[in-house]
Structure 1
């Protein structure tokens, strides 16, 4: 069962931006949400799309996303067990935000990466 997450104690009361960023913080949550925008996926399908994530990290991130109501985990009663992940309505409402982050990255990351190459 997914653990219940609580807001960070040092978070500014009423700061919605900070709370939203807390929901999607971490290296993998945004990528998981992005992958699930294409549709329902099983655990290993997600893992194959995200080469560098460990099984433990992916499991933890999926549990946190489920606890926060951003994804839905559906377990089928069969042997071997079958588990599917999909975006919830709340998670689907993040699609414009994720698409905006992707567009910003496509527009600005090449310049940032070339600046780092020059500095090195």
Structure 2
């Protein structure tokens, strides 16, 4: 499929939804907007996310170029997650979501 036949490639909204797939992915990006975090810090900040779900979402975001995973050679190894420039550019999207959510409470 190319951009003419794949809606995720031809539509900006579909592409954004492809990257921010699901509740946890968006919240992970939100947490990382404040700066680099370790796995346990992310998990604590997010609340009831399972380790498997967090791992899966982090891998997907890394694969999409939204974040980087840096392993520091220490005992035990320290792994830090940080948004890339592309990931940081999602701040405007999340800020718009924040404004909309505040203007339209449930």
Long gaps (5+) in structure 2: none
Runs of 4+ in 1 over 2 A off after TM superposition: 10-13
Match of 2:10, SS state, is: coil
2:32 is equivalent to residue 36 of structure 1: yes
Long gaps (5+) in structure 1: 1-9, 114-120
Distance 2:89 2:68 in 1: 14
Aligned to 1:64: 60
Change (3 A) 1:15 1:53: same
When the two chains are superposed, the root-mean-square deviation of aligned CA atoms in Å is: 1.3
Aligned to 1:52: 48
2:95 is equivalent to residue 76 of structure 1: no
Q: Give the paired residue count.
A: 101
Question: What is the CA deviation profile of residues 30-60 of structure 1, one whole-angstrom value per residue up to 9, with x for unaligned ones?
Answer: 1000000111100000000111100000000
> Taking structure 2 as the reference length, what is the TM-score of the superposition?
0.89
1:21 to partner: Cα distance: 0.8
Aligned to 1:96: 92
Aligned to 1:14: 10
Question: What is the CA deviation profile of residues 2-25 of structure 1, one whole-angstrom value per residue up to 9, with x for unaligned ones?
Answer: xxxxxxxx8426222212211111
Contact 1:72/1:87 (CA < 8 Å) preserved in 2? yes
Match of 1:74, SS state, is: strand
